[in-house]
Homo-oligomer: A and B are copies of this chain.
Amino acid sequence: MFTGLSAFPLTPITGTGLDTAAYARLVERLAAAGVDSIGALGSTGSYAYLTRDQRAEAAKIAVGAAAGTPVMVGIGALTTSEVLALAEDAQNAGAAAVLLAPVSYQPLTDDEVFGLYEDVTRELSVPLCVYDNPRTTHFQFSDELHGRIAGLPGVGSIKIPGVPAGAKARVDALRARIPDTVTIGISGDPFAAAGLAAGCDAWYSALAGTFPDAAQAIMRDPAESERLRPLWDLFARHGGIRVLAAAATHLGLTGDRVLPRPLRELDGPAREEVIATLAALSL
């Protein structure tokens, strides 16, 4: 479950809610491409913006459309009680694993975050991936805290953010703190090739959620990542979710409206630049 290429699709949200048909097609396409697992309702999948009912529906659609490819479902929310409810829904939908970030409003202490994972793992019957994403949660895990959480029963992996420099030292330092049974997966697509070269066991990839072939090409040949630099530059400038939403619309995978308000789709010159970059990179 927690090794290889894990593809995180967009969850298309229109003015009236989840676009269930487009979402099913996105997931089917990933299963057909042969990714190792699918990450439903990750950050690029807008999990934080959906209601409990919408998330339960999306989880069911993803498991059905994945047709046997294991699906990990994001269960992050601001309160422990909501996380526990989402965990139950994800398991009922057939999730093979869950992904949990310490979503924050008030900055959380280490003991509060440990308490969250302790309270949730106690109730789970599928394995959990710890989601470390300071860009969205604004919580900084220490390696010591990663070690404490990774020792909880049922923790199977840690999804770490991209490491712009010194990936090997970062992965080694974390590996020294966690049990052998817990894998490390890289995210932050622009830094994935470096993370894999540094010994990460998995790539939790937003790119793969829309461009599974391109991500598989990077898995085979890390030099492919360098070729995609113009795309990474767009990710840095606009946020990956907005670039991938524009791409999915342009490719006809979704309608024009993809992102939950107040997020907005790229338009005008920014959208034109995404389209031109996709063409130049043959994506």
Contact = CB atoms under 8 A, between A and B. Distances in A.
- Which of A107, A111, A112, A241 gathers the greatest number of chain B CB atoms within 10 Å? A112
A162 interface: no
A136 interface: yes
A113 B262 contact: yes
Interface in A61-115: 78-81, 102-103, 105-109, 111-113, 115
B264 A78 contact: no
A113 B263 CA distance: 9
A135 interface: yes
A209 to B, nearest CB: 15
Interface in A124-163: 135-136, 138
A102 B262 contact: yes
Interface in A199-247: 239, 241
A39 B201 CA distance: 49
A43 interface: yes
A48 interface: yes
A260 interface: yes
